[in-house]
Amino acid sequence: MKHKSIIVLGLIAMLMSSCYSHRSIGYLQEPTKSNKLPVYDSAVYEPYRIRVNDEIIYRLITLDETVSKMLGTNTAVSSQYANSYRVYSDGTIDIPFLKPLKVAGLTESEAQDTLRAAFREIIPDADVKLALYNKYFSVIGDANAGRYHIYKEKMNIFQALAMTGDVMNSGDRRHIRIIRPRDGGQEPEILEFDMRTNSIIDSKYYYIYPNDVIYVARTKDSFYKVPTYTGFLGLITSSVALLTTVLNYVAYLYK
C-alpha cells in the first residue's frame, strides 16, 4: 500500500505540471524577479500613413446640382463610396475630374484635406470624407485565424485578439509576432513580444495597424497540457483507476 500511495502521489504531481497556469497564459501580469517578464518602454502612438497599394474611398458632398448630375446622382449630396482607388507605385491616386494626387505618406486626415482642397478648386462648396478601404489585419496560428476589420483608431493587441476569440491555451503568449509591411519594397518588420506583461500597454507592440499579420505560435509543450480543469480531473481519475487495476493485477499474479 505504501508503494501504491507513492506512485499515485507521483502521478498526481506529474499531472499537475500538465495544467495551464495563470503564469503561463494570464495577461497584464506585473513583472517581478520570479516571473522574469519583460519591461517594455512606452512609445508615442504614430497614426497610420498611407502606403503604395493601399485603397482609398471617399464621399464628395456639394450643393452644386450640375456636379451632382455629372456624378450621376439626382440629389445635392453625392457619394463615391461605391469605388475604391488604389495608390499607385508613384504614391498617387487617380480621382475622376482631378489631376493625380500624391497621398502616400499622408495620414487619412491629411489625405482628406488634400482631396478636399483639390475638389474646391473646381467646386467651391465641396466637402470630402475619406477613409482607408483596406483597413484590415490578419491572424494566423493558434488563434481563430482570419482577416478582421479595424473598426476604430488605436486598436490594441488585446482588442484585436478578442475579435478572434482570444489566443488558444496552447498558443505561445511569450513570443507573439506581428509582421508589419514597410514602404519602398523593404522587408517587412517583425515585432516579437511577450503579451503577458502589463508593460505592453502603450509600448510599440500595443497598437495594431492596417495590413498587420499577427502570428501566434504553438508552445512546444502544448501536447502534454490539459486545456481545462474538467479534463484534468478526468485524466487523474482515469489514470488512477488504470494504475490501481494494474497494481491489483500484478499483486494477484504474485500471490
Domain boundaries of the chain, sorted by first residue: 2-19+226-253, 25-47+135-222, 55-132
Distance CA 18, CA 1 (A): 26
pLDDT of residue 76: 47
Distance, CA of 54 to CA of 165 (rounded, Å): 28
Question: Does residue 215 register a pLDDT over 50?
Answer: yes
183 or 190: which leads in pLDDT: 190
With a pLDDT cut of 90, the percent of the chain lying above it is 60
Q: Report helix, strand or coil for 65.
A: helix
The candidate with the shortest Cα–Cα distance to 38, out of 235, 197, 211, 204, is 197
223 DSSP 8-state letter: G
Give 240's pLDDT tier (boundaries 50, 70, 90). Answer: low
pLDDT-derived band of residue 230, with 50, 70 and 90 as boundaries?
Answer: low
pTM of the model as a whole: 0.76
Lowest mean pLDDT among 38-42, 135-139, 167-171: 167-171
Residue 197, SS3 per DSSP: strand
Cα dihedral across residues 149, 150, 152, 155: positive or negative: positive
Residue type, 193: F
Helices 2-16 and 229-253, packing angle to 10 deg: 150
Over range 105-134, report the average pLDDT: 95
pLDDT at position 150 over 90: yes
Residue 1 has pLDDT above 70, yes or no: no
Residue 14 pLDDT: 47
Q: Average pLDDT for residues 152-170, to the nearest whole number?
A: 93
Mean pLDDT within 226-249: 57
Q: According to the model, what pLDDT value does residue 22 have?
A: 75
Percentage of the chain with pLDDT > 70?
73
Q: Which of 113, 77, 115 is nearest to 97 (CA)?
A: 115
For residue 74, name the pLDDT band (cuts at 50, 70, 90). Answer: very low
Q: What are phi and psi of 126, to 5 degrees?
A: -65, 140
Instruction: Mention the CATH class of domain 55-132.
Output: alpha beta
Cell of 93: 491616386
Residue 96: the pLDDT is 87
Whether residue 190 has pLDDT greater than 80: yes
Tell me what pLDDT residue 121 has: 94
* The most confident of 60-64, 168-172, 188-192, 243-247, by mean pLDDT: 188-192
In sequence order, what E strands does 23-111 have?
Answer: 55-61, 85-86, 92-93, 101-102
Q: With beta carbons less than 8 A apart as the criterion, state whether 209 and 48 touch.
A: yes
**Short-list 49, 182, 55, CA closest to 110:** 49
pLDDT-based confidence at residue 56 (cuts at 50, 70, 90): very high
Q: Give the span between the Cα atoms of 5 and 27, in whole angstroms.
A: 37
Average pLDDT, the chain: 83
Fold of 25-47+135-222: Outer membrane lipoprotein wza fold like (3.10.560)
Q: Alpha helices, DSSP H only, in 17-107?
A: 22-25, 65-70
73 falls in which pLDDT band (50, 70, 90)? very low
Higher model confidence: residue 238 or residue 180? Answer: 180
Quote the cell numbers at residue 19: 495544467
Residue range 54-60: average pLDDT? Answer: 93
pLDDT of residue 221: 67
**pLDDT at site 241:** 62
* Contacts with 104 (C-beta within 8 Å, 6 or more apart), sequence order: 49, 50, 51, 52, 54, 87, 91, 92, 183
